[in-house]
Amino acid sequence: MKALVALLACLLAAAAQAQVYKWTDSNGKTHYGDKAPDDSNAQQVKIDVRSYEGPVEVTDWAAIIRKRSVPGPARAKSITMYSTSWCPHCKRAKMYFAEHNIAYEDIDVEASEKNKRDFKALGGGGVPLILVGDKAMRGFDAKKMDALLRN
């Protein structure tokens, strides 16, 4: 019975995926939302990348480096974040880096096919994917980032 309830919950969650709309206001500012305003010419946006919604994971990705050609620098303590413009977790990470005056490379996975391919080569899954030296963080948590940067 529990398995049936779990299966039903998964099916309902998949069916309830929200639509995302993009529109530009009268001042030229671009907005994204789950509902298009009545007075605008909103376009439905196709989303290929999801926000990472699981528990924040910090892993050693050195094994991935040895198996695959990793785009960008893999220097000790260099920080690279694979993100999207609409992801709330990515925005929190960007605010954290700005508040702590931390330099990082931000790669928008939806900005180009190359960025998307590079993201998928690293295991993709969901954004943000933050690489710090030989560690990878899926999702974002300020306390875990503090610990990651200290080590």
Q: Mind listing the pLDDT tens digit for each residue in 77-119?
A: 689 999 999 999 999 999 999 999 999 999 999 999 999 999 9
Can you give the CATH number for the domain in which 110 is found? Answer: 3.40.30.10
Residues 115 and 77 in one domain: yes
Strands 129-132 and 135-138: antiparallel
* Residues whose CB falls within 8 Å of the CB of residue 35, separated by 6 or more in sequence, listed in order: 21
Q: How far, in Å, CA of 95 to CA of 73, rounded?
A: 23
Q: Report how far Cα 58 is from the mean position of its chain's Cα atoms.
A: 14
Task: Establish if 4 belongs to a structural domain.
Answer: no
Residues 36 and 71 in one domain: no
* Residues whose CB falls within 8 Å of the CB of residue 20, separated by 6 or more in sequence, listed in order: 32, 33, 34, 44, 45, 47, 86
Q: What is the pLDDT along the chain (151 residues), one digit of tens a residue?
A: 554 444 444 444 443 445 777 777 778 777 777 777 777 677 776 666 666 666 777 777 655 554 444 444 444 468 999 999 999 999 999 999 999 999 999 999 999 999 999 998 888 888 999 999 888 899 999 999 999 898 8
Residues 62 and 113 in one domain: yes
Supply the range of the domain harboring residue 85: 50-150
Q: How far, in Å, CA of 76 to CA of 94, rounded?
A: 20
Q: How far, in Å, CA of 146 to CA of 126, rounded?
A: 21
